[in-house]
Amino acid sequence: AQSVTQLGSHVSVSEGALVLLRCNYSSSVPPYLFWYVQYPNQGLQLLLKYTTGATLVKGINGFEAEFKKSETSFHLTKPSAHMSDAAEYFCAVSDKGNKLVFGAGTILRVKS
């Protein structure tokens, strides 16, 4: 069975500071990995995904994530936080299908 652990249910950063949201996964097969973002009262939208190939993947709004097989991690980063980045972020894993298993989510707060 696949699973995702997101470390930290809440992360707070200052505007302009580095954003780091942590995600570790468990999968018995080579995984596909995803980060989704949810703004208040909205559905989830895809930020970025790793399927195969380059382990550093870039997404929308300046976010990127690196797949590290040895660490079973897929942490999300952004060099400089913006107020508009405040949202809830979900890491997800799949076994190459469309059936995703989501983590518990991390709420990002950006302080001015």
Partner 1 sequence: DAGVIQSPRHEVTEMGQEVTLRCKPISGHNSLFWYRQTMMRGLELLIYFNNNVPIDDSGMPEDRFSAKMPNASFSTLKIQPSEPRDSAVYFCASCPVGQGTGELFFGEGSRLTVL
* Residues at the site binding partner 1, with contacts judged by CB under 8 A: 32, 34, 41-46, 49, 51, 90, 92, 94, 96-105
Q: Which is nearer to partner 1, 18 or 104 (CB)?
A: 104
For the bound state, the minimum distance from the C-beta of residue 98 to partner 1, rounded and expressed in Å, comes to 6
For the bound state, the minimum distance from the C-beta of residue 76 to partner 1, rounded and expressed in Å, comes to 15
Q: How many CA atoms lie within 13 A of 90 on its CB side?
A: 16
**The one-letter amino acid at 29:** V
Q: Which is nearer to partner 1, 12 or 51 (CB)?
A: 51
For the bound state, the minimum distance from the C-beta of residue 80 to partner 1, rounded and expressed in Å, comes to 26
Residues 6+ apart with CB under 8 A from 4: 23, 24, 25, 26, 91, 92, 93, 101, 102, 103
**The one-letter amino acid at 64:** E
Burial class (CB in 10 A: 0-12, 13-18, 19+), 43: exposed
Q: Which is nearer to partner 1, 73 or 81 (CB)?
A: 73
Q: Which is nearer to partner 1, 12 or 45 (CB)?
A: 45
